[in-house]
Amino acid sequence: MASNSEYYSSDSDNDETEKQRELNVIIFGESGVGKSALINQIFDKNVVEASNSAVGCTIISAKVSGTLKEYPHLKFNVYDTAGLSESDDGNVPTAHAFVQLVKLAYSIPNGINLLICCAEKRFKANYRIFIEELCEKRMPCLLVVTKCDNDHPLNKWWNDNEDIVRERLKFEFIDCVCVSTLKTTGRRPDDILEDYTESRSNLIEAISKYSRSEPMPMDSWKRAALSYARSFYNMLRRLLGFEENSIRPELERMFIELGYSPESAISEANKLLNDLQEPNLMVPYAVVDVN
């Protein structure tokens, strides 16, 4: 795996650090790519429903918390999210899923240690909207490619495609882990597949390695200060009878990229901004305690 030490301080390597690290991790990606299956793999248990059927798909987010017996120094809070549609035609479900994702990210107390973008081998969704605009590129984002069942070595796809993915998506993933979440097969229902075990340990090691040592809130102080300055400037413009400027242009850009017209992007961004400014912003999610 390529390494990028900008985001994390590797207290996982530090023997002195016996106290448990708590990691807030959000998993997002298109519908059906295997986000819920990945969470089940991390905990090695069926803790959330993973399914191809419309009934099984995740509609409401879930926070799954627990410690793994092989990694007692880590406590995971993993957030399962509703799938982002892969279409980029601005349909409502896509925008709705994005808005839910943004609200969830803002509402997590203390902030986030790591984002996981979960994808299949072919993907085209423009996640830059989320990472680069809203997280200001400050948050590490690990790419996890699922359904690599027949690949040997497991990371073959990434080894063959890293340059194309980085070039085409212009997206700064901190690294990529290729996994198979299939635990057994029909032919060998009692044998846990080697690829499953290897995928799981690669995944958990990457989460531990790339998670920020401290969780980080979504908004940087710079952006908060900029918003205050813009609000003040708008007050002056209002007094002088001029039209107001946007306080958070990045939210408008998100809606425009999701297919909204500039006018509706402004009103949707204002609506979202109002919600994000709620001091007790609450996003409904199920809470699953694994231990």
Ligand X SMILES: Nc1nc2c(ncn2[C@@H]2O[C@H](COP(=O)(O)OP(=O)(O)OP(=O)(O)O)[C@@H](O)[C@H]2O)c(=O)[nH]1
Chain residues that interact with ligand X, rule: CB under 6 A? 31-37, 50-52, 56-58, 82-83, 146-147, 149, 179-182
User: Parallel, antiparallel, or unpaired: how do β-strands 175-178 and 285-289 relate?
Assistant: unpaired
Please state, in angstroms and rounded to a whole number, the distance separating the CA atoms of residues 42 and 200: 6
Is residue 227 left, alpha or beta, with left meaning phi > 0 and alpha meaning psi from -120 to 50? alpha
Query: 281, 259 in Cβ contact below 8 A?
Result: no
Residue nearest to Mg ion (CB): 58
Does the footprint of Mg ion cover residue 58 (CB under 5 A)? yes
Residue 34 binds which of Mg ion, ligand X, none (CB < 5-8 A, kind-dependent): ligand X
User: Parallel, antiparallel, or unpaired: how do β-strands 114-119 and 61-68 relate?
Assistant: unpaired
Please state, in angstroms and rounded to a whole number, the distance separating the CA atoms of residues 78 and 62: 8
Question: What is the nearest approach in angstroms of ligand X to the Cβ of residue 53?
Answer: 8
Nearer to ligand X, 216 or 283 (CB): 283
Nearer to Mg ion, 24 or 58 (CB): 58
Please state, in angstroms and rounded to a whole number, the distance separating the CA atoms of residues 70 and 281: 35
Residue 37 binds which of ligand X, Mg ion, none (CB < 5-8 A, kind-dependent): ligand X
Question: What is the nearest approach in angstroms of Mg ion to the Cβ of residue 206?
Answer: 20
Please state, in angstroms and rounded to a whole number, the distance separating the CA atoms of residues 120 and 127: 14
Count of residues engaged in binding Mg ion, rule: CB under 5 A: 3
Nearer to ligand X, 179 or 276 (CB): 179
Please state, in angstroms and rounded to a whole number, the distance separating the CA atoms of residues 231 and 246: 9
Question: What is the nearest approach in angstroms of ligand X to the Cβ of residue 259?
Answer: 20
Does the footprint of Mg ion cover residue 81 (CB under 5 A)? no
Question: What is the nearest approach in angstroms of ligand X to the Cβ of residue 192?
Answer: 14
CA 32 and chain centroid, separation:
15
- Tokens 């609506």: give the residue: 271
Residue 162 binds which of ligand X, Mg ion, none (CB < 5-8 A, kind-dependent): none
Query: 7, 140 in Cβ contact below 8 A?
Result: yes
Residue 64 binds which of ligand X, Mg ion, none (CB < 5-8 A, kind-dependent): none
Query: 25, 114 in Cβ contact below 8 A?
Result: yes
Question: What is the nearest approach in angstroms of ligand X to the Cβ of residue 225?
Answer: 36
Element (H, E) at 25: strand 21-28
Does the footprint of Mg ion cover residue 41 (CB under 5 A)? no
Binders of Mg ion among residues 8 to 37 (CB under 5 A) are 35-36
Residue 94 binds which of ligand X, Mg ion, none (CB < 5-8 A, kind-dependent): none
Nearer to ligand X, 51 or 197 (CB): 51
Question: How large is the angle between the packed helices 194-210 and 35-43, nearest 10 degrees?
Answer: 90
Residue 63 binds which of Mg ion, ligand X, none (CB < 5-8 A, kind-dependent): none
Contact residues for Mg ion (CB under 5 A)? 35-36, 58
